[in-house]
Each structure stands twice: as structure tokens, then as C-alpha cells.
């Protein structure tokens, strides 16, 4: 005080009151005032700056106002406060409690008269606080009000959400839902596609897209909201936040380059801001949504695809590392990830104007490489072409994300596929879109035992890693199939057990001592997965093994009789026997597998002299597609234990279809497995209802 000489100006209650008035003036608007103590020659304040206000600007406003007011009362001029001040960042709740107690008890520790520094000033503060605050009915919603003003603003918020819903149905990008004979909203998927013809809703009608329908949506949501519970939402930077310390963390991070939610959010934000900025001024302070810090690999924001990938990798690693160092020592961190990756063909010939179909007609095959993609098929080839080559893309969504998880200090201890996606969403109509989110179960690596010699925490060779995969992956895969994981999710789900083995070690190295990167680890996991699925072929009959090999090359298309005959010798069967079994057609030097729709509708496995698992699975598909789950269950009841073998075959056939880009057939196999729980339940019921002939006692 007084040019830094420390005069005790604030012993004067009138001057102390000026300081307290200044502290209370912007409480709740620019900061949250928790504790304060006005001492004779200094002031202690515990405060939380609100969004948009820095601590330095807040302190400057206090000093500027109080210096002028104090000089005016004293009839003096010149500096009042020292130029510098001391501040400390509060680290956690325990630190906050200690600081609050220190500030609150500071006058007593200094030996100041309680009746002056605690009693009278505190009472004056309470009176000032009550006088400066509006009545309870006038306190706004964003300041925690519960009176008439806050109630009216809350109703306004709900109506604004209804208008927000209307904007989804009242744009020139809305299309017509042909089968439903109704409007389809703008965001049927997380994108804004080009539409040449659009449907327009009448806001005042009784059809889809009308105003009251939107209000009804909000009302139904509110009806399900618990009235007694309070939630807390905070916007914070995941790379620097501290709120996760010793908490149970479940997070759904951004999906690499899939969706730029910040860009899409502007569609709704501009309308919400017009309605809600007066109610939530801090939340809607910016003209559009912030985008620079959104953790997605968006090339246009960063100048190139490589720079965008580096931004994602570095940011995700820092964010996950921040979670790892603050993780609860007992509970794991769960991370939801539903990114889907796709293998695509090399595009060099496309750039020369040569069509892919023309190359395939000539029988040419190009190597498959793994690249990031947002939807549709998700094949996981097991061949060496999955490894990085000069012409292949440098990374994938899964690879980049898993690399970030591992570099952040996490070990992946498991995966839980969870059914989180609606089957009727546009993306899943006629495609093999991901049906589940994959939940990665992670623990900080520092919690794992540090052992050596290819054991947990030590260094393992590439061969030891492969041996561990071959030893542990079959049981994990069997558990996934037993849990009825959809074939479309199987390859993604198998990444978890495989990466659990990979992250068990400090490093995995090849024969030259170079580290085995995540890309190669994923390729090895897929390779062993394919081997495990191939080993299940031992459960199938010879005709089915021939059909599998033929289907992998030709699908349901025609092929040469001579090639089929040669393959039949290797599989210990014959073309004539396959025709007799009812799964093959042979004529004019060509053969082809029969499609499910071409199979006999009255097939009875009990009366089939040459039963095959191939026809069992395709008769089940025919029954499911023509008569639903009830008809499929009736056939499954007749198949008995062979029905489970047929389900194993459906998994294998789906993997083949996915790799060969046969999406239509893949849908049928995936649908059969997804319907299996209900088919099994109905089949069990039908078995119990079948009457049995009892024996006679002599």
C-alpha cells in the first residue's frame, strides 16, 4: 500500500468497505468469489475466473477502482497498491480447502480484534451481499436462480431446443423417406450431402416436421429426466484438465478424421445463439463454434494430411497421457472407439484413366493396403500387403489411435464390443456399417509388473509375440463368438485381446532388434485371427471345405469344371457328389454354387443322405429371409447340434465376403448371426414342444 511502503490504510473500515464492495461487484459475472480477508495493509482473495476473464484483468479492475475511490475519500493522489501481486494455482479439492481455511482464519492468526475484522466487516459484507444481489425471483438461470426469472428462462431454453430440432427438418437439404412416406431430416448421417431435390415441411400441419412434433420430442425427453438428480458439465481441454484425478473415467474420444463435429455444429449453433445468448452469455460468446483445438485430423485446417495426422497423434497422446497419470489406481479407464477402417485398392492406375472393373475382368489383382475410412466395409486382410509400403497410406484411424494410447502410457487389457448403433440409421441401410462400439479397457503401464525375458513388462521378440497370440487368441475368439458378437464386429473386437498381448511387453522387437510397430502388430493379429478361423474348418465336412475354397475364389459365380474337379480331389470329394448333395450346379463345362434362394424349400436335414454344413447355413439364411426368425428356428430345431456348427461357418463366410468386397452376401451371414439368440431361444421352445414316443413296460 502507498507506493509499496505498507501503510495500514485498511484499518479504516470505510476504506476496507471500498475494497469489499469492489470484490463483490462482479461476483458471479466475471468470477466466483469463494473467500476473502481484508487485512490492514493487504488483501487475501480466493477466486475462480469465469470463461473469458483472466486473473490479471480481474486484479487490475480491483486495483484501479479501489485506488481511485480510496484517494477520493482521503483527498490524496498517487499509487495505492503495490505494482506486483502474488498468486497461486489451486491444484485439487484438498488444496482448495487448505487455502480457504487460511484466508478465512488469517485475521485471527494476525491477532486482529475479532469484533472489527471478523464481526463488523463480515456483517457488513453479508449486508452488502444481500443488498447488491437481486431478489431470488430475479436471479437469472446461469447464476443458479430458481425463481420466476430462472423458470421463464428454462422454458425458453426448452422451446429453443424445439426450434433447434425444427432446423433439422426445415432445411433445403431434407429428402423424402420413400418407404415411410415422410420427411427425412438433414442429418440422417453426420454430414451434409448434396441434394438436388428436397422435401419441404409445413410447420403448421400434422405431418412429420411440424412445430408441435418438435415440441413433443422435447416434452418426451423431459418426462424421462430425473427431477431430483443434478449433473455437472464442464468444458475443459483434455490435454491439460485435472478433473479426472482419481476418478473413474469413461470417455468417447474423437475418431481420427471421421467427423468434424465443430463444423457441423455451426448448422445449429447460429440459431441457438440468437435465442440463448441472453440466457447463457458465456456459452454463446463466440460467433461460431471454436474449431482450432478440435482433436480431429482435418487436412484443410492444418495444411496437409500429414500435418493433420501429426496434430491428431500429438494431441491425442497428450490427452491420453493426462488421463493415464491421473488414473484411479484401482479402476481401469474405458475408452469407446467406433472408428471403422477399410482396405482400398491402389489408385495409381485409376489416375491414368483405367477403370478398376476393366482390370478385374482381365483377372488382374492388385495388393490391398490399409487406409483410414469412415464407413461401409471393414475387412481385415491377413496378408503381408497390410504392412506399410511406399505406395500405401502411412496410417489408419485404428493404428494412429492405438499408437497414441500406447505412447500415452496405457496398456490395453481387453475390449468389450457394445451394441451402440441403431440398425435403422441411414448408414447401416444396405451396408456392413459397424454395429458396435469397441470399448478399450486400459490401465496405466506403470501398474503392470516389470518382468523380463519375453514376459510382462520386458522385451519380447516377434516370434514370442506370435506364439503368445497363437496360444491366447483362440480362447478369446471362442469367447467372442459365444457372446454372439456380430461378424461385422469380430475383426475389430479381436484387436483387443491381441493388443492386450502386445502392450503387455515394454517392447516387441524383430530379428534385427527393430521395434515391431502397431501397424505390423495389427497385421500379425489379423493373420493369427484368420488362422484360428481357418482351423475351425476342421469341424466342417469335406463338401463344405470344398465349397469354402471355391466360394473364396468365385463366390456364387460360374467357374471352370476342370478347376472344380481338381479342387475336389484335394478336398477328398467329387463334383458329382457335390451336385448330389444339392449345393452345386454343373453344366456345359461350368459349375457354380447354388444361392440360398435356389435351395429347396422343403429340405429336411434328417432325410438328407448327404448332409453338409454348407447347405445347413444357407437353408437357415433362406428360412430367415423368407419366413423370419420363427421359420429359421424351426429349421434350427431340426438341425440340433449341427446348428452351432452352421453358425461357425457363417462367421467364416462373412470374413471371406468382407475381404472380397461381396457386401450383399456378407449382409446375409451377418444377419443370421445377429438373429441367432432369438433363433436359439425359439428353437429351444420348439424342441420342448415336440411330442416323444414313450416306451411300454412289460
Q: Reply yes or no on whether the pLDDT at 448 is more than 80.
A: no
Give me the number of domains the chain comprises: 4
Q: Cβ atoms within 10 A of the Cβ of 257, count?
A: 20
Q: Does residue 549 share a domain with residue 491?
A: no
Indicate the residue among 223, 254, 272 that finishes a domain.
223
pLDDT digits (tens, 9 = 90+) for 379-417: 333 332 233 333 333 345 677 788 888 888 888 887 777
Give the pLDDT band of residue 338 (cuts 50, 70, 90): low
Q: Reply yes or no on whether the pLDDT at 119 is more than 60.
A: no
Indicate the residue among 116, 133, 150 that finishes a domain.
133
Q: Does residue 440 share a domain with residue 330?
A: yes
- The reply to whether 635 falls in a domain is yes
- The reply to whether 277 falls in a domain is no
**Average pLDDT value for residue range 482-496:** 77
- The reply to whether 65 falls in a domain is yes
391 vs 76, more confident: 76
Integer Cα distance of 105 and 97 in angstroms = 12
Give percent of the chain with pLDDT exceeding 90: 13
Q: Does residue 653 share a domain with residue 520?
A: no
Which of 250-259, 448-457, 514-523 shows the highest mean pLDDT?
514-523
Q: Reply yes or no on whether the pLDDT at 473 is more than 80.
A: yes
**Average pLDDT value for residue range 189-218:** 80
Q: Reply yes or no on whether the pLDDT at 307 is more than 50.
A: yes
pLDDT digits (tens, 9 = 90+) for 513-568: 889 988 888 889 888 888 888 787 778 889 999 998 899 888 999 999 999 988 88
pLDDT digits (tens, 9 = 90+) for 363-373: 333 332 322 33
Q: Reply yes or no on whether the pLDDT at 78 is more than 80.
A: yes
Q: Residue 60 is part of a domain; what is its CATH number?
A: 3.30.70.1290
Q: Does residue 651 share a domain with residue 579?
A: yes
Q: Does residue 57 share a domain with residue 40?
A: yes
Q: Reply yes or no on whether the pLDDT at 453 is more than 70.
A: no
Indicate the residue among 103, 118, 133 that finishes a domain.
133
Integer Cα distance of 96 and 246 in angstroms = 16
- The reply to whether 588 falls in a domain is yes
**Average pLDDT value for residue range 125-143:** 60
- The reply to whether 237 falls in a domain is no
Cell of 158: 426448452
Model pLDDT, residue 342: 44
3-state SS, residue 100: helix
Q: Reply yes or no on whether the pLDDT at 344 is more than 50.
A: no
Model pLDDT, residue 191: 65
Q: Reply yes or no on whether the pLDDT at 349 is more than 70.
A: no
Q: Does residue 73 share a domain with residue 100?
A: yes
Integer Cα distance of 442 and 503 in angstroms = 10
361 vs 131, more confident: 131
Q: Cβ atoms within 10 A of the Cβ of 73, count?
A: 14
Sheet holding 590-593, edge to edge: 559-560, 590-593, 584-587
- The reply to whether 214 falls in a domain is yes
Model pLDDT, residue 617: 92
Model pLDDT, residue 149: 86
Model pLDDT, residue 229: 64
Give the pLDDT band of residue 224 (cuts 50, 70, 90): confident
Residue 51 belongs to what domain range?
A: 9-133
Q: Does residue 156 share a domain with residue 55?
A: no
- The reply to whether 73 falls in a domain is yes
Model pLDDT, residue 593: 93
Q: Does residue 464 share a domain with residue 411?
A: yes
Give the pLDDT band of residue 2 (cuts 50, 70, 90): very low
Model pLDDT, residue 601: 84
Q: Does residue 672 share a domain with residue 544?
A: yes
Q: Does residue 677 share a domain with residue 643?
A: yes
Phi-psi region of 86 (alpha: psi -120 to 50; beta: other; left: phi over 0): beta
Q: Does residue 78 share a domain with residue 150?
A: no
- The reply to whether 43 falls in a domain is yes
Model pLDDT, residue 513: 87
Q: Does residue 207 share a domain with residue 70?
A: no
String of DSSP letters for 463-515: HHHHHHHHHHHHHHHHHHHHTT--HHHHHHHHHHHHHHHHTTSSEEE-TTS-B
Q: Reply yes or no on whether the pLDDT at 215 is more than 50.
A: yes
Model pLDDT, residue 189: 65
Query: Buried b / exposed e across 384-403, counting CB within 10 Å, b at 16+?
Result: ebbebeeebeebbbbbbbbb
Amino acid at each position: 500500500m502507498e507506493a509499496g511502503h505498507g501503510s495500514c490504510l485498511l484499518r479504516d473500515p470505510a476504506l476496507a468497505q471500498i475494497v469489499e464492495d469492489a470484490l463483490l461487484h462482479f461476483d458471479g459475472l466475471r468470477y466466483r468469489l469463494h473467500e476473502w480477508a481484508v487485512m490492514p495493509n493487504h488483501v487475501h482473495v480466493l477466486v475462480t475466473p469465469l470463461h473469458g476473464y483472466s486473473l490479471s484483468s480481474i486484479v487490475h479492475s480491483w486495483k484501479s477502482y479501489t485506488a481511485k475511490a480510496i484517494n477520493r475519500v482521503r483527498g490524496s493522489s498517487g499509487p495505492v497498491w503495490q505494482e506486483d501481486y502474488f498468486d497461486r494455482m489451486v491444484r485439487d479439492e484438498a488444496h482448495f480447502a487448505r487455502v480457504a481455511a487460511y484466508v478465512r482464519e488469517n485475521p485471527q492468526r494476525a491477532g486482529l480484534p475479532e469484533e472489527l475484522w471478523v464481526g463488523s466487516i463480515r456483517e457488513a459484507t453479508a449486508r452488502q451481499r444481500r443488498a447488491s444481489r437481486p431478489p431470488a425471483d430475479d436471479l437469472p438461470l446461469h447464476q443458479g436462480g430458481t425463481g420466476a426469472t430462472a423458470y421463464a428462462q428454462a422454458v425458453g431454453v426448452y422451446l429453443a431446443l424445439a426450434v433447434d430440432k425444427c432446423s433439422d427438418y426445415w432445411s433445403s437439404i431434407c429428402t423424402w423417406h420413400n418407404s415411410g412416406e415422410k420427411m427425412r431430416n438433414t442429418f440422417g448421417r453426420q454430414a451434409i450431402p448434396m441434394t438436388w431435390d428436397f422435401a419441404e415441411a409445413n410447420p403448421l400441419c400434422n405431418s412429420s416436421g411440424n412445430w408441435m412434433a418438435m415440441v413433443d420430442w422435447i416434452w418426451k425427453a423431459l418426462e424421462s429426466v430425473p427431477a431430483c438428480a443434478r449433473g455437472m458439465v464442464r468444458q475443459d481441454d483434455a490435454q491439460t484438465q485435472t478433473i479426472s484425478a482419481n476418478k473413474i473415467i469413461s470417455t468417447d474420444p474423437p475418431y481420427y478424421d471421421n467427423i468434424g463435429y465443430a463444423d457441423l455444429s455451426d448448422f445449429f449453433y447460429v440459431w441457438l445463439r440468437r435465442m440463448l445468448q441472453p440466457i447463457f452469455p458465456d456459452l454463446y460468446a463466440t460467433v461460431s463454434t471454436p474449431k482450432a483445438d478440435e482433436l480431429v485430423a482435418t487436412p484443410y485446417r492444418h495444411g496437409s494430411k500429414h500435418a493433420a495426422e501429426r496434430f491428431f497423434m500429438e494431441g491425442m497422446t497428450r490427452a491420453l497421457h493426462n488421463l493415464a497419470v491421473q488414473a484411479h489406481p484401482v479402476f481401469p479407464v474405458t475408452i469407446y472407439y467406433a472408428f471403422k477402417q477399410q482396405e482400398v485398392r491402389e489408385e495409381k492406375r485409376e489416375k491414368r484413366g483405367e477403370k478398376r472393373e476393366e482390370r478385374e475382368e482381365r483377372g488382374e489383382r492388385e495388393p490391398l493396403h490399409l487406409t483410414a475410412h469412415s464407413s461401409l466395409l471393414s475387412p481385415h486382410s491377413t496378408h503381408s500387403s497390410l504392412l506399410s509400403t511406399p505406395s500405401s497410406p502411412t496410417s489408419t484411424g485404428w493404428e494412429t489411435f492405438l499408437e497414441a494410447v500406447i505412447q500415452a502410457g496405457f496398456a490395453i487389457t481387453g475390449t468389450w464390443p457394445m451394441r451402440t448403433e441403431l440398425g435403422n440409421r441411414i448408414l447401416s441401410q444396405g451396408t456392413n456399417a459397424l454395429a458396435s462400439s469397441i470399448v478399450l479397457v486400459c490401465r496405466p503401464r506403470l501398474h503392470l509388473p516389470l518382468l523380463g525375458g519375453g514376459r510382462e513388462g520386458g522385451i519380447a521378440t516377434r516370434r514370442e509375440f506370435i506364439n503368445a497370440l497363437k496360444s491366447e487368441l483362440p480362447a478369446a475368439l471362442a469367447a467372442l463368438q459365444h457372446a454372439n458378437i456380430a461378424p461385422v464386429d469380430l475383426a475389430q473386437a479381436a484387436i483387443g485381446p491381441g493388443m492386450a498381448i502386445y502392450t503387455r511387453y515394454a517392447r516387441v522387437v524383430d530379428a534385427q532388434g527393430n521395434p515391431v510397430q502397431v501397424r505390423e502388430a495389427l497385421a500379425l493379429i489379423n493373420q493369427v485371427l484368420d488362422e484360428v478361423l481357418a482351423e475351425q474348418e476342421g469341424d466342417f465336412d469335406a463338401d463344405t471345405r470344398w465349397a469354402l475354397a471355391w466360394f473364396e475364389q468365385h463366390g456364387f459365380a460360374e467357374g471352370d469344371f476342370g478347376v472344380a474337379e481338381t479342387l475336389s480331389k484335394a478336398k477328398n470329394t467329387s463334383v458329382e457328389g457335390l451336385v448330389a448333395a444339392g449345393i452345386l450346379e454343373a453344366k456345359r463345362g461350368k459349375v457354380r454354387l447354388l444361392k440360398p434362394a435356389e435351395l429347396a424349400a422343403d429340405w429336411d436335414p434328417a432325410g438328407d443322405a448327404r448332409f453338409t454344413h454348407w447347405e445347413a447355413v444357407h437353408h437357415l439364411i433362406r428360412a430367415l429371409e423368407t419366413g423370419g426368425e420363427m421359420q429359421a428356428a424351426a429349421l434350427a430345431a431340426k438341425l440340433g447340434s449341427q446348428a452351432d456348427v452352421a453358425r461357425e461357418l457363417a462367421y467364416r463366410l462373412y470374413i471371406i465376403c468382407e475381404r472380397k468386397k461381396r457386401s450383399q452376401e456378407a449382409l446375409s451371414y451377418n444377419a443370421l448371426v445377429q438373429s441367432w439368440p432369438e433363433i436359439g431361444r425359439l428353437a429351444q421352445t420348439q424342441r420342448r414342444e415336440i411330442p416323444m414316443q414313450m416306451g411300454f413296460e412289460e
